[in-house]
A and B are shown apart, each in its own frame.
Chain A
Amino acid sequence: MCDTCGCNITPGNKHLIEAGGKLSHSHDGKTAVEVLHGLLSENDQQAAHNRDHLDQHGVLAINLMSSPGAGKTALLEATIAALKDELRIAVIEGDLETENDAERIRAQGVPAIQITTGSACHLDAHMVHDALHHLDLAQLDLLFIENVGNLVCPASFDLGHHRNVVLLSTTEGDDKPAKYPVMFRAADLLLLTKSDLLAVLDDFAPAKAEHHLRQLANAAPVLQLSARKGQGLDAWLAWLRTEIAARREARQKFRAAPKLSGVLK
């Protein structure tokens, strides 16, 4: 959503949203001012600014979201081990407390910035902006933002990233997309993690998880993998390489386009 271009006003909701003129006076001398701004427009502006920074340097930013313990950090460890000779990677870690996850990432030999949110249940664009200032974007190809483990709040905040990757571990239940529709509707890729446990779990059907995702009108690919056992990583790495190639192509076009002065701060 965005408060400058009116993209959150569609032909479908226009008649509901537009009530009278911009300034209409009520009978008792009070003034009703029509606003029609997204409530999170301040966050969205910061997110757009973050995305400009990333695009300027051709960095692909991926927002990783899941419940706590679905395997985000384990996925990152396996991904970095597979790609660190090929791509320049950094990670922004969001947790309520501790540097533990950042230390696990640093042990893989890539920079990690830990954001400790205190009691905040999600990352927002301002926190990510502060973290970006601790990274040299010119030296990066791929930035992972590991959001706070939570299937509710992180879905509402644009961070300035390019793609949402949502993890659903096989121990959680295949109906999670039906229970948390706002989160799973936002997924650009759904990863079914801990797939090595499928052999011993009789209550998780990958096809059911995919069915619940399609019920949200989401066409995102669904991949199964086990980061610990190294199973199914190839398809995930191939997806990442395709996204990075697309980002590089977009950057070439961006550079070839006539210069728009004053757009990037």
Chain B
Amino acid sequence: MHELSVCQALLAQVEQVARDNQAQHVDKIVLRIGPLAGVEPRLLQDAFPIARVGTVAADAELVIETLPLTVRCQGCGAETAAQPNRLICGACGDWHTQLISGDELLLASVELTKA
């Protein structure tokens, strides 16, 4: 349910990037989101057309790239893929792991048109 507020935070940042670059128009916004970010990409896509109205990104495209979930085992050192509710080592099964990718919620890039 908080995807709309995330979208509003996103657009505030995009408007700042546009101002910093003296751009009149935003064409494309690229996000990178991990499965443990707590934000659902599909809901973000639904919220975006509502949030972008009246902003410099009023007809921008939103591209969401999903990042993989990867953990590093503190026991055996292996780096393996994981599931959101199963962050154990894929090699030895130990739960003493460290998340090395998967909780990102990043504005990666913005494509702009300058006057």
Contacts and interface: CB of A to CB of B under 8 A. Distances in A.
- Per CB-CB distance, the 3 closest pairs between chain A and chain B, nearest first, are A12-B100, A156-B38, A13-B101
Contact of A38 (B68, B105, B109, B113): B105
Contact of B38 (A152, A178, A219): A152
Contact of B13 (A37, A124, A177, A179): A37
A221 B27 CA distance: 48
Contacts of A245: none
A216 B87 contact: yes
A4 B104 CA distance: 15
Contacts of A139: none
A30 B101 contact: no
Nearest to A34: B109
A35 B108 contact: yes
B66 to A, nearest CB: 10
B99 A217 contact: yes
B98 A217 contact: yes
Contacts, number: 138
A152 B86 CA distance: 18
Interface bracket on A: 35 or more
A181 interface: yes
A182 interface: yes
A215 B105 contact: no
Instruction: Pick from A155, A178, A216 the residue with the most CB of B within 10 Å.
Output: A216
A136 B95 CA distance: 42
A120 interface: yes
Given A8-B104, A12-B101, A39 B23 contact: no
Contacts of B105: 1, 38-40, 156
